[in-house]
Each structure stands twice: as structure tokens, then as C-alpha cells.
Amino acid sequence: MFEIYQDFEEIVSEKPLLIGLFEKQEKIEINEKINKEVEELIKDGIIKTGLGEVNKLPTFSKIKNKIVYIIGLGKKEEYTINKFKQAVKNINYKLGSELVILLDTFKGALGIKEVAFNLIMTSHYFNYKYDEFLSKKIDNDLLLKICTKEDIKEEIEEALNIAVAIDNTRDLVNRPYNYLSAIGLAEYASELVSSLDSDRVKIAIYNKKEIEELKMNAFLGVNKGSTCEPRLIYIKYQGLEEWKNPVALVGKGIMYDTGGYSIKTSMNTMKDDMAGAATVLGVMESLVKNKVKANVMVIICATDNRINGEALLPDDILTAMNGKTIEIVSTDAEGRLTLADAVCFAQKEGSKEIIDIATLTGACVVALGEYTTGLFGNDQNKVTEFLKAADETEESTWQLPITEHIREQVRSSKVADFTNSTGRPMGASGAAAFIEGFIEEKTKWLHLDIAGTAYHTSPSYKEFYGATGVMVHTIYRYLK
């Protein structure tokens, strides 16, 4: 939460005061009662001003705030919004449940509105904890009392709406399968739409019988080994006056992935295989709360991929919603089967621009690691626009190729139109080429492989273990 003040003297609080300090900055303006003492500590080198350094100083009741935290901002001439975000990621509940921030001291040559937006986004992100199943909860409540003479209310509110949506996305991905099945995800989506309380948002949930009537047999094939029914989740947000040219956000919703009969040797963390579905729900939430002028569909084919006597087998052939047939080479290449039917459904509903998001291939992790998302597409202008949005949000994204050779491999089955796996070589591109095979000629399409970026078991930047909420902000930015 946050409160905004234009005058420091108006803030009624004894809680810690935060100010930013650049290297070689000798003068400081906290309060005339302690300015000189703090300046002496700066001259003596006791206060560290390296990027992200946190200096804790008692005020001995000389001012109303009992503690002052001085945050190092590094070299002023090298200060960018990225440097600012690195500095303020240490502003979280560990410093106190209520913090008073003199925002102008963090500004440097940056715009105060940009600083305010990124303060909320960054501090909120690094303040996240997942304690749903801990008997002793983590008290990470945080109130920021922000002081600046400029009007930042709009930027703060927009950032908070996105940040909360990212938190909700992370919660969904972190939740274990025994607490979040396909039916549970559909219930969450319905509750989310209800909570948004907007007549511009409509939701339809399709049960197994209704999915069968749609002939989504690739999707249903993945569900064959499950004791839990699948759900097709379809949300429409009309942000424009007229419903036309909707962008479809298709999220992979494999609630748990065992690999099926092509069983995984290790399946820990496979609860994260629905991160694409969680992401598109997070994007939808942020779009609606911020009243973004865009028409958007969210489409999720939700099921788990498990094994029983009815489960899908290698050598089986499935017929997708559009009538194309698929030879099953690996039952562990299941996400693309659900996505094939999902993009067909999106096009049937009138979308000519599709973005699909999926924890799709280990090959993408091998290629790009855990902090860069793989991007594919059939329209270079759209790819370029998306890369620009990713650059602005600083969510590392890299374009990967789909060549004619790869397309030929996807169509190399002797008994069906497509094979669902091309093996380990070119695995990320092969999966993308498979989905592309279900995209109609005039439909613009982007595919995001977040297999490495959606969930971190060994976080490198002090973020919380587990789900990252990656791409919610970038997709929001792209659509806005």
C-alpha cells in the first residue's frame, strides 16, 4: 500500500525515513537538526554510497523518525532507471512495515513519474513472499509513505495494479497441484472476473462435454490419463467502444506434468507448467484495473498430464479442432497439443493476432538460461514491437528462429499431418513450428517460451524462490 505527501512535515510517522545518496555527494537535506552530523559521517566514509548499499542511522529523537536509512545510488553520471531499480530492491519489509521515502532524493536526472512507477514495481516485487502453507506466516505487510512535490498518483496506482497482478500470478504458479487443479483454476478465473466488477469483462467456462462438442481432441488427448476433468477458460475484455480486432492471449495450462508414458526422470516443480495460464490471467487483471484501451481474449486449455490405463500413448494419432492430425511421438510434448487447439479456438472466435505463453521446452532453457525468455513470431513488425516493450520493462527477451528445415521436421510424420516432437535438437524452435502449423495465413502470431524464466529454484537477484511472474508487465506494456 502507499500514501502520497507533498510536504514532509505533513507526514505523521516515527517510522524509518529513507533517502537516496549518490557517490561524492557531500550535502544532504533531511532536517537541519541532523544534516551536519550526517554530512560528517559521509566525509568520514562511514556511510557507504555504492549502488544498493543500505546505511542505518539512529536519530536519537532529534527528528520524529527514529531511524534514517540512507540508500546508496552509485555514481550520479551513470545513474539510469536500471540502476535505480537495483538500488531500491532492498526497500522491503525487512526495513520495517512502514517506511517514509523522500522520493526526490532518488531522482537524479530521471523523471520523477518514472521513478515513482518503478519504485512501486520494484519494491513490491522484492517484498513478495509465498507463505500459504507455512504454519507461521511471514509478516511482509509494507506501507510506503512517499513524499514529493510532483503529482505521481496516476503512476503509483498503475504500478500497484500491475504489481498486485504479478503477485497473484506468482501465487498461482507456486500453489501445488493438490490445491489447484484445472477445475480450481477455472474457479479462480471466475472469482477474478467477479472481483474486477466490470461490465467490460465476460467469462465462459467449458466442461469436458462442451470441449468434446468443439472437437478439441488434441487437448482432450492430454487429459485422457487424468482423473480430473479439463476446463476451457475463455475471457473477453472489451476495452474499446467496439468489439473488433481482439488480441488473443493463450496461456499453457498444464496443471501438473508427469510426462505421461514418456515419463519424466524428475518432475519436481512441474506444478509450474501452468505458468502461461497464470500469466495471461495476470495480464488480464492489470489491463482491466488500469482500464487499458484494448480488446483482449484470454484462452486457457487447463488439464494435467498424468498416467492411467486410458492415458495417451506414443504412436497414437489425434485430430485437432481444425481437422489436422498429429502423430504422438512423445507424450511429454503435451503442452503444444493443448496450445494447438487453443489457437484454433482463438481464431474461430475472430482473433487475427495471437500471443501464446508457455513453459514449453527445456531446450529453450539450454539455449537462453533462466533469465531470458525465447520469442518466436510470424510477423517481424510485431516481434520488433514486442522486443521494444520487453526492453522498456527490462524483462530479457531474445528472438529465436523457425526455419523451413524445422518446419519440414514438424511435418515429417509418415502417418499424420504433424509429429508432436522433433527430439532434442532445435527443440524450442520445433515446438514453436508445431504451434505455427495451426496459425492461419492472415493471423499474426507471437510465441513466448518461458520454461526457464517462469520459476527459479536458485534465484540470482535476491528475489523469492519459485514463481517469477515473468512477462505479465511486458505483455501489458505491449498491449497498452
Backbone angles phi, psi at 356, to 5 degrees: -110, 145
Three-state SS for 114?
Answer: helix
Residue 336 a catalytic site member: yes
Quick: pLDDT tens for 162-195.
999 999 999 999 999 999 999 999 999 999 999 9
Q: What is the CATH number of the domain that holds 301?
A: 3.40.630.10
Residues 125 and 226 in one domain: no
pLDDT at position 442 is 95
Quick: pLDDT tens for 120-176.
999 999 999 999 999 999 999 999 999 999 999 999 999 999 999 999 999 999 999
Tell me if 243 sits within 8 A of 349, measured CB to CB: no
Q: Which residues of 339-360 are buried (b: 16+ CB within 10 A; e: fewer)?
A: bbbbbbbbbeeebebbbbbbbb
Is 185 within a domain? yes
d(CA 190, CA 204): 8
Three-state SS for 232?
Answer: strand
Residues 121 and 14 in one domain: yes
Three-state SS for 197?
Answer: coil
Residues 410 and 308 in one domain: yes
Tell whether the model's pLDDT for residue 31 goes beyond 90.
no
Split into its structural domains, the chain has a count of 2
Residues 261 and 123 in one domain: no
pLDDT, averaged across the chain = 96
pLDDT at position 37 is 87
Angle separating helix axes 153-174 and 275-289, nearest 10 degrees? 160
Kindly name the residue from 231, 236, 336, 477 that is annotated as catalytic: 336
Q: pLDDT higher for 177 or 424?
A: 177
Tell whether the model's pLDDT for residue 461 goes beyond 90.
no
pLDDT at position 198 is 94
Percent of the chain residues topping a pLDDT of 70: 100
Residue 324 a catalytic site member: no
Q: Is 46 exposed, middle or buried (0-12, 13-18, 19+ CB in 10 A)?
A: exposed
Residues 250 and 218 in one domain: yes
Is 347 within a domain? yes
Residues 184 and 142 in one domain: no
Residues 223 and 139 in one domain: no
Is 247 within a domain? yes
Instruction: Look up residue 176 and give its DSSP letter.
Output: -
d(CA 210, CA 59): 67
d(CA 231, CA 304): 10
Q: Which three cell numbers stand for residue 435?
A: 504451434
Is 248 within a domain? yes
d(CA 262, CA 247): 34
pLDDT at position 368 is 97
pLDDT at position 462 is 84
Residues 168 and 284 in one domain: yes
Residues 247 and 331 in one domain: yes
Is 155 within a domain? no
Is 156 within a domain? no
Kindly name the residue from 215, 264, 352, 382 that is annotated as catalytic: 264
Averaged pLDDT for residues 45-50: 91
Is 154 within a domain? no
pLDDT band, very low/low/confident/very high, at 382 (cuts 50, 70, 90):
very high
Choose one of 149, 173, 206: the last residue of a domain: 149
Tell whether the model's pLDDT for residue 38 goes beyond 90.
no
Residues 133 and 186 in one domain: no
Quick: pLDDT tens for 283-329.
999 999 999 999 999 999 999 999 999 999 999 999 999 999 999 99
- What's the CA angle centered on 187, arms 182 and 188, to 5 degrees? 95
Amino acid at 174: N
Q: What is the CATH number of the domain that holds 53?
A: 3.40.220.10
Tell whether the model's pLDDT for residue 397 goes beyond 90.
yes
Percent of the chain residues topping a pLDDT of 90: 91
Residues 167 and 189 in one domain: yes
User: Structural domain of residue 382, as residue ranges?
Assistant: 161-479
Instruction: Look at residues 280, 298, 319 and name the one whose alpha carbon lies nearest to residue 237.
Output: 298
Choose one of 149, 175, 204: the last residue of a domain: 149
Choose one of 121, 149, 177: the last residue of a domain: 149
Tell whether the model's pLDDT for residue 29 goes beyond 90.
no
Q: State the Cα torsion 258-260-264-267 to the nearest 10°.
A: 0
User: Which range has highest mean pLDDT (47-61, 347-361, 454-468)?
Assistant: 347-361
Residues 141 and 177 in one domain: no
pLDDT band, very low/low/confident/very high, at 8 (cuts 50, 70, 90):
confident
**Whole-model pTM over 0.75:** yes
Instruction: Look at residues 375, 328, 333 and name the one whose alpha carbon lies nearest to residue 355.
Output: 375
